[in-house]
Amino acid sequence: MRAFSILALTLCAAPAAAQELAFSSDATETCLGSGADFRSCIGLSAEACITDTDGGYSTVGMSGCYSREFEWWDDRLNLSYGFAMDFAKQSDVDNGGFGPSQVDALREMQRAWIRFRDATCAYERSHWGGGTGAGPAGAECMMRETAKQTWYIESMVTPG
């Protein structure tokens, strides 16, 4: 009986182990570096991951690939937000206390954006009525909305 339980656990874990994602951010990075409109670059690495992963077109595979690209954008967003906050702090010092605080405005904007992103993606997931498509739809939404916010923050602190 004990051997059967171990075998059953091993077989149940096998599909998860077999779902090793073939994710690389190269497609997105190459697109962004080419000067293309950033919107055309969103999802390229996730799509390559879906294509290159065995079982990538499954709901688990698609969710995983979209989530991995979301994580890539989220890391970039956090770095960009840090630069924007440094810029805002310096601007607050430079304006000598006159006018609204850029630090406060940036912080509130980002908090409001997080609520907006989460509500937007919850709405997209709701279209699936609890079905299996909700996972990939939600993950794709998180990736897309985070990429758009990354572009916005970067455009506010990058000259040109």
Q: Is residue 5 part of a domain?
A: no
Tokens 């149940």 found at? 12
In a domain, 10, yes or no: no
User: Does residue 81 carry a pLDDT above 90?
Assistant: yes
pLDDT in tens, 56-71: 999 999 999 999 999 9
pLDDT of residue 113: 98
Task: Report, in angstroms and rounded to the nearest whole number, the Rg of the chain calculated over CA atoms.
Answer: 20
Q: What is the mean pLDDT of the chain?
A: 88
Residue 157: which pLDDT band, with cuts at 50, 70 and 90? confident
Residue 142 lies in a domain: yes
Classify 37 as helix, strand or coil.
coil
Q: How many domains does the chain have?
A: 1
For 82, the token pair is 């840090």
Q: What residues make up the domain containing 131?
A: 22-157
| Among 136, 106, 108, 132, CA closest to 121 | 136
